[in-house]
Structure 1
Amino acid sequence: MILKKGANTYLQQINNAQLELYWEAGQVSPYCLLLDKNGEMIQVIAGFEEAPFLFEQSDKRAQYSINLNWLPVEISKLVFACLKPSGKVGMAIEDIRYEVSHLYQDSAIVIGEIYRYKNGWKIRAVGEAVKGGRKELLQLYYFSEKEELPAAPRIVTVIDASIHNQELFESGNLQKLFKDLFIASSIVNPLLEMDVYFFAVLHEKGVKATKENFQSYVQNHYPQPGYFNGLGLENDEGPILDELIEEYRDSETIYYFLTSGDIPDPDLLLTRLAGTNGFWEMIVLNGEIGSGTTYRNIKVIPYPKLSTMKAGEIHQTLLRPINIWRSQTKEALVRI
């Protein structure tokens, strides 16, 4: 199917949409912009394997593999554009194709967009030139006049490696949860890296989790509980929290804190975290913690609730409280 400018049609393969941008010549920079329901830009993202996006680029093409079902509900539209193309440029997805020609090298071009429509997704042929470059392209979607994106928050995951969570590790569920945490964090941190700590009685900082190693990270780095060759059998949140609060006190930080829930005075712990400048998602692997008090920068999530959800639901559950907190405290990368 050849689309004409302004035409649209439904997409069928929303679980694995394969969109290709291609061009004839020039040092072209392809862009994918994520927009909210108001048409304002949320983020520029390329992605990685098993996340919403997998991005590959060669001399004259860029390939996006997109799982649209995994996108947070805040994302309503994906805009595909190129900077400085010359000659013909086009996009192809499923059996749908659209091309634009007679372009000027001093312009950006918005080629097409994928957007939510009722219970599905549609693609529209846009074909509009934007005089200028990256700055002008971003301003088209109500982004700040600053050339650069706001600094992304630091992402820190803290994993309870005590004897209480050994069964969760042996079943593979801890590994799966970590992968979901990493994927969800990519929406607010396009650097695609994460600091990781393990704790029991003792604690240690692991190597960074990245797009290259996140899928097998826990399997390869999880310390088996033990007195002599591990971090101990029981858990002690106090020392690791002391280190985290000191280490990240000067940066905007999002913490995924995985705890067995065996905390002597959970309300005292939560009150302490409420006084920090980060956002804490306390994922309770066994049971519940706290008395139900609501804190601005803390969200307590029972793991049994997450374990019954599909991937897209998990990512939305993890992202929504973070987005609300960021929108209330400073300019957010992901807006509500």
Structure 2
Amino acid sequence: MQLLKGQKADVTKGRSLGKLAVRFGWKAGKSELGIDAAAFLLSERGRCERDEDFIFYGNPLAANGAAEHKSSGQQLGTEAGDQEVIELVLGRLPEQIAKAAFTVTIYDGEQLGHAFQDVTGLYVRLVNLDTGEELLRYEYGADLVKETAVVAGELYRHNGEWKFSAIGSGFNGGLAALCLNYGLELEGNAAAGEDGESQAYARAEAAAAATMEAPVQTASLSKIDFRKKLVQYTLEKKQLTNVVARVGIVLDISGSMQTLYKNGTVQEVVERILAVACKFDDNGTLDVWVYDNEYSRLPSVTERDFGQYVDKHILNNDRIHKFGRNNEPPVMEDVIRKYTVEENDPTPVFIIFINDGGVVKSIKHTITHSAVQPIFWQFVGIGNSNFEVLKRLDTMEGRIVDNASFFHLDDIAAVSDEDLYDQLLNEFPMWIKAAKEQRIIRP
């Protein structure tokens, strides 16, 4: 059954229906668009009475198993266009849930200049999970322009049965506007879009986390989840979704870096790079080194223990030599030793090397020497120092493959996550291809 805007249709009347899949499809006109589907489980008042009744990728499973969110990384269905799905076990929906609103939003649409005018092929279809039968389909969105959120449709109780209403109404203000519409109150100026996305997701994640045995950093985890999605979009764009890599970060801790450590910039860098490790590394860990004229190999960091990592493991660690002059080759040799001697494994290694200038020239020998190893060095220069040595990395001779890249950011804190990930992963695909051809890594 093909519905038009405003039409209603029976879903359960006249049929035995235990499990229902609400499948969402769309085509993004820009590869960087972040699009998410979600469900708000509502009371008769049309309100989401509990934060945990907001079902999305960060809170994918209702406490009683009545609703589950699945994304494109999981088995969704038989139709190629399906992007995300909300699966419902109708018999488990509590009596106080009178309606389920199904929504699609663009992440940070207003801030990033993205809107539904950049999206085509929007549809929602209802499928009987027990039989695979498509019950109805609603195609919508042709009238959307600047909106960043849309209510695709609603499933609602009527005389003891469930019906579906085709809505397709757009909202400005993204996810925050939807949350306010359904009674999830946000703090401060979130209604005006100030961090509304983060607050909305963090509320639901906090509710989900409350059911776990151990406490978690809910607000920070929300940021990590956002960043992991941006990394995923970048990986898809650069055709790296099937690549597994060990990920490490090397942090300059020479004297000129003191301000960046103390004002939280380095902690933020660790968190941003952790998202890359979570998507690339099969165990989701980020290996960490710091160096000035000495170096230290630090405990690896994961999304469960990254909070205050820099304070705990670096600034408050008296065993670490800090704020001296810089000397890169010793720490680079330790990186090579870890991945080729201690953990001799052909799995690719992606090293992000943060430096604020003045690297020693002998770094060239170390990079050339390591070209036969499964290690790619991505140097990131920050600040306004001299990066002449690093700028010549791409033209260095005497290597079997180009195993290093460099880009410069005046102020890394001012660069969006999206732009940072795009630059970080710009040359890595080319190295992967070349390293496979030379059998440095497995084809």
TM-score for both structures, normalised by structure 2:
0.46
Question: How many angstroms apart in 1 are the aligned matches of 2:247 and 2:405?
Answer: 15
Question: How many angstroms apart in 1 are the aligned matches of 2:289 and 2:104?
Answer: 43
1:102 and 2:128 equivalent?
yes
Contact 2:243 2:280 in 1 (8 A): no
- Which residue matches 1:318? 424
TM-aligned CA deviation for residue 216 of structure 1: 3.1
List gaps (5 residues or longer) in structure 2: 9-21, 42-56, 73-80, 92-99, 106-121, 153-240, 396-401, 438-443
TM-aligned CA deviation for residue 302 of structure 1: 1.9
- Which residue matches 1:73? none
Relative contact order higher in (CA < 8 Å, ≥ 6 apart): 1
TM-aligned CA deviation for residue 270 of structure 1: 3.5
The superposition leaves residues 176-198 of structure 1 with CA deviations (integer Å, 9 ceiling, x where unpaired) of 22222222444433643211122
The superposition leaves residues 250-272 of structure 1 with CA deviations (integer Å, 9 ceiling, x where unpaired) of 23111111223332214334433
1:238 and 2:344 equivalent?
no
1:264 and 2:360 equivalent?
yes
Contact 2:67 2:86 in 1 (8 A): no
Question: How many angstroms apart in 1 are the aligned matches of 2:61 and 2:282?
Answer: 17
1:154 and 2:239 equivalent?
no
Instruction: Report the identity percentage.
Output: 15
TM-aligned CA deviation for residue 120 of structure 1: 9.1
Contact 1:159 1:198 in 2 (8 A): yes
Contact 1:19 1:65 in 2 (8 A): no
Question: How many angstroms apart in 1 are the aligned matches of 2:413 and 2:422?
Answer: 14
2:304 alignment partner, SS class? coil
- Which residue matches 1:201? 293
- Which residue matches 2:381? 284
Question: How many angstroms apart in 2 are the aligned matches of 1:161 and 1:302?
Answer: 18
Contact 1:20 1:62 in 2 (8 A): no
TM-aligned CA deviation for residue 327 of structure 1: 4.5
TM-aligned CA deviation for residue 281 of structure 1: 0.8
2:321 alignment partner, SS class? coil
Give the direction of change, closer, same or farther, for the CA distance of 1:61–1:187 in structure 2 (3 Å limit).
Answer: same
Give the direction of change, closer, same or farther, for the CA distance of 1:306–1:299 in structure 2 (3 Å limit).
Answer: farther
TM-aligned CA deviation for residue 151 of structure 1: 6.7
Pairs aligned (count): 259
TM-aligned CA deviation for residue 222 of structure 1: 1.9
Query: What amino acid is aligned across from residue 261 of structure 1 in structure 2?
Result: G
Question: How many angstroms apart in 2 are the aligned matches of 1:78 and 1:218?
Answer: 41
Matches within 5 A, 1:187-198: 187-189=279-281, 191-198=283-290
Higher helix share: 2
TM-aligned CA deviation for residue 239 of structure 1: 2.3
1:93 and 2:121 equivalent?
no
The superposition leaves residues 183-226 of structure 1 with CA deviations (integer Å, 9 ceiling, x where unpaired) of 2444433643211122223322222211123353223322469x
- Which residue matches 1:143? none
The superposition leaves residues 23-65 of structure 1 with CA deviations (integer Å, 9 ceiling, x where unpaired) of xxxxxxxxxxxxxxxxxxxxxxxxxxxxxx6353232323579
- Which residue matches 1:79? 83
Question: How many angstroms apart in 2 are the aligned matches of 1:327 and 1:21?
Answer: 44
Question: How many angstroms apart in 1 are the aligned matches of 2:267 and 2:37?
Answer: 28
1:19 and 2:38 equivalent?
yes
Question: How many angstroms apart in 1 are the aligned matches of 2:412 and 2:248?
Answer: 19
RMSD value, Cα: 4.9
- Which residue matches 2:275? 183
1:303 and 2:409 equivalent?
yes
Higher strand share: 1
List gaps (5 residues or longer) in structure 1: 23-52, 67-76, 126-148, 332-336
Question: How many angstroms apart in 2 are the aligned matches of 1:307 and 1:183?
Answer: 16
Contact 1:258 1:283 in 2 (8 A): yes
Question: How many angstroms apart in 2 are the aligned matches of 1:181 and 1:112?
Answer: 40
Give the direction of change, closer, same or farther, for the CA distance of 1:106–1:276 in structure 2 (3 Å limit).
Answer: same
1:248 and 2:339 equivalent?
yes
Larger Rg: 2
> Which of 54, 62, 65 lines up with 2:68 in the alignment?
62
Question: How many angstroms apart in 1 are the aligned matches of 2:58 and 2:71?
Answer: 5
Question: How many angstroms apart in 2 are the aligned matches of 1:317 and 1:104?
Answer: 45
1:282 alignment partner, SS class? strand
Give the direction of change, closer, same or farther, for the CA distance of 1:64–1:118 in structure 2 (3 Å limit).
Answer: farther
Query: What amino acid is aligned across from residue 262 of structure 2 in structure 1?
Result: E
Contact 2:355 2:380 in 1 (8 A): yes
1:294 and 2:394 equivalent?
yes
- Which residue matches 1:129? none
Query: What amino acid is aligned across from residue 54 of structure 1 in structure 2?
Result: G
Contact 1:161 1:223 in 2 (8 A): no
